[in-house]
């Protein structure tokens, strides 16, 4: 608001303020700027807080507001207490200086802030107001508030915020000076104690809040060591793991055969099994792990017969030790050269049907193609379907 003072001193701003708390001390404040950059009549403002009936509750005078070469905002404020039964007040601003050369001012940011006895939440651990724990931590924390004298009948209420103080929620049953905080899932939890007089309990804006203490529950790193693998003695494989979280560090165990061109000795007797575990630790010390199992086979064994008669024994044609991640292409043809089964980069499991229709008993030709570290592999043969 820009004000060009009238010639005669008088009121230039008058408003009624509602929704204040009864019997509550407020800090009133407003920002004033003398817009004159050179010598002239200086603004001189009196702030008055009155009841609607005209009773003055408090007054404050700024004195002469000096001019400055560059624009400077100055905040002026004072304290007053609202009436017990009717918290409605009238705010009056009077310019005490006459008009003429100067006495031009700008007004901004009128605020009413409730004040009350100090409300303090004690620190959680040592001198810290923040605790970092990991998900799954079972520690319980007792939050304690301290309220200075000044309340007649205080009402306590602990609150929690899950969005860094944007919104606060009352904690059901937390109406004492202490609050026992139980473990939660991962998230950031801010806590504070609010206090109000019993007479103003219906006005949430009348609460006085303490400082904030935070308990940050950090999630475990997300660890995926990748799918189990099947490969051949002497071959190598890349373990395609993924890790996510808060700057995690990681390592594999055991170290056997890691970063080795040959996973296992080709002369070792297959099948051989290896289990590896990927461990991860976040910057807050939260840990997690995942394992991968590697079966090392001597060769691909292709069954030469199966009996799809639903007796639970050898009902489908399966090829053990053919890792789906090899991307093997498997085709099966009948005696007329018709393709009756196809699999690519997946587990081989033929039930002897084609489009849901049982195929006749007899010999079928298969062709298997995939790539190894040392080249391509092509396997051909026959499988007997027995009914």
Tens of pLDDT, residue by residue over 176-216, are: 999 999 999 999 999 999 998 887 787 777 888 888 999 99
85 and 64 share one domain: yes
Please say which residue of 115, 142, 176 terminates a domain.
115
Taking only the tens place, the pLDDT of each residue in 293-310 is: 988 887 888 999 999 999
289 and 332 share one domain: no
Domain containing 318 — which CATH number? Answer: 2.60.40
54 and 9 share one domain: yes
**Cα–Cα distances in Å, from 153 out to 19, 149, 198, 200, 291?**
21, 11, 6, 10, 60
Pairwise pLDDT comparison (64 vs 7), residue with the higher score: 64
Domain containing 26 — which CATH number? Answer: 2.60.120.260
Please say which residue of 52, 82, 115 terminates a domain.
115
**CA distance linking residue 195 with residue 206, whole number of Å:** 9
Nearest to 219 by CA among 282, 131, 161: 282
111 and 148 share one domain: no
56 and 19 share one domain: yes
Give CA 287 to chain center in angstroms: 18
Which residue's structure tokens are 């529950």? Answer: 217
**Cα–Cα distances in Å, from 319 out to 117, 190, 293, 354?**
78, 57, 19, 19
Question: Structural domain tally of the chain?
Answer: 4
Percent of the chain with pLDDT over 70: 95
184 and 150 share one domain: yes
And the tokens for 375? 């080249």
Strand 141-147, strand 178-181: pairing: antiparallel
Lowest-pLDDT range, 58-72, 81-95, 165-179? 81-95
**Residue 32: Cβ-neighbour burial (10 angstroms; 0-12, 13-18, 19+):** buried
For residue 290, the model assigns a pLDDT of 97
Strand, helix or coil for residue 4 = strand
310 and 289 share one domain: no
Which residue's structure tokens are 């915020």? Answer: 161
214 and 128 share one domain: yes
378 and 283 share one domain: no
Residue 262 has pLDDT above 70, yes or no: no
For residue 268, the model assigns a pLDDT of 56
Taking only the tens place, the pLDDT of each residue in 228-252 is: 988 877 777 888 899 999 999 999 9
Q: Which domain holds residue 245?
A: 222-297
Nearest to 290 by CA among 279, 281, 304: 279
For residue 295, the model assigns a pLDDT of 85
Q: Which helix (H) or strand (E) holds 14?
A: strand 10-17
246 and 214 share one domain: no
Taking only the tens place, the pLDDT of each residue in 318-353 is: 998 898 888 999 999 999 999 999 999 999 999 999
Which residue's structure tokens are 């165990």? Answer: 253
Domain containing 177 — which CATH number? Answer: 2.60.40.10
Please say which residue of 218, 236, 267 terminates a domain.
218
Residues 283 and 247 sit within 8 Å (Cβ to Cβ): yes
191 and 291 share one domain: no
């Amino acid at each position: 608001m820009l004000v060009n003072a009238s010639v005669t001193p008088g009121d230039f701003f008058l408003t009624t303020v509602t929704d204040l708390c009864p019997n509550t001390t407020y800090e009133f404040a407003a920002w004033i700027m003398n817009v004159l950059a050179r010598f002239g009549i200086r603004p001189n403002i009196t702030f008055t807080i009155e009841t609607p009936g005209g009773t003055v509750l408090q007054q404050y005078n700024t004195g002469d507001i000096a001019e400055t070469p560059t624009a400077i905002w100055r905040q002026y404020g004072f304290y007053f207490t609202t009436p017990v039964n009717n918290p409605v007040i009238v705010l009056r601003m009077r310019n005490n200086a006459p008009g003429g050369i100067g006495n031009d001012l700008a007004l901004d940011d009128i605020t009413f802030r409730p004040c009350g006895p100090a409300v303090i939440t004690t620190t959680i651990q040592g001198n810290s107001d923040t605790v970092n724990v990991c998900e799954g931590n079972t520690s319980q924390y007792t939050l304690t508030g301290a309220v200075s004298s000044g309340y007649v009948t205080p009402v306590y209420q602990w609150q929690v915020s899950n969005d860094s103080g944007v919104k606060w929620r009352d904690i059901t049953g937390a109406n004492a000076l202490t609050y026992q905080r139980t473990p939660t899932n991962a998230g950031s939890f801010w806590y504070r104690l609010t206090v109000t007089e019993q007479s103003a309990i219906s006005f949430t804006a009348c609460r006085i809040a303490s400082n904030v203490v935070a308990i940050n529950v950090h999630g475990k790193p997300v660890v995926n060591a990748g799918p189990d693998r099947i490969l051949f003695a002497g071959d190598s494989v890349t373990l395609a793991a993924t890790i996510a979280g808060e700057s995690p560090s990681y390592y594999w165990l055991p170290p056997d055969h890691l970063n080795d061109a040959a996973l296992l000795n080709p002369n070792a007797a297959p099948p051989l099994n290896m289990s590896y575990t990927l461990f991860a630790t976040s910057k807050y010390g939260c840990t997690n792990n995942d394992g991968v199992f590697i079966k090392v086979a001597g060769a691909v064994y292709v069954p030469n017969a199966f009996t799809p008669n639903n007796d639970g024994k050898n009902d489908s044609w399966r090829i053990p030790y053919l890792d789906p991640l090899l991307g093997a292409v498997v085709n099966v043809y009948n005696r007329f050269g018709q393709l009756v089964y196809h699999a690519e980069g997946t587990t081989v499991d033929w039930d002897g049907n084609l489009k849901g229709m049982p195929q006749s008993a007899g010999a079928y030709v298969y062709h298997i193609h995939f790539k190894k570290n040392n080249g391509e592999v092509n396997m051909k043969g026959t499988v007997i379907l027995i009914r």
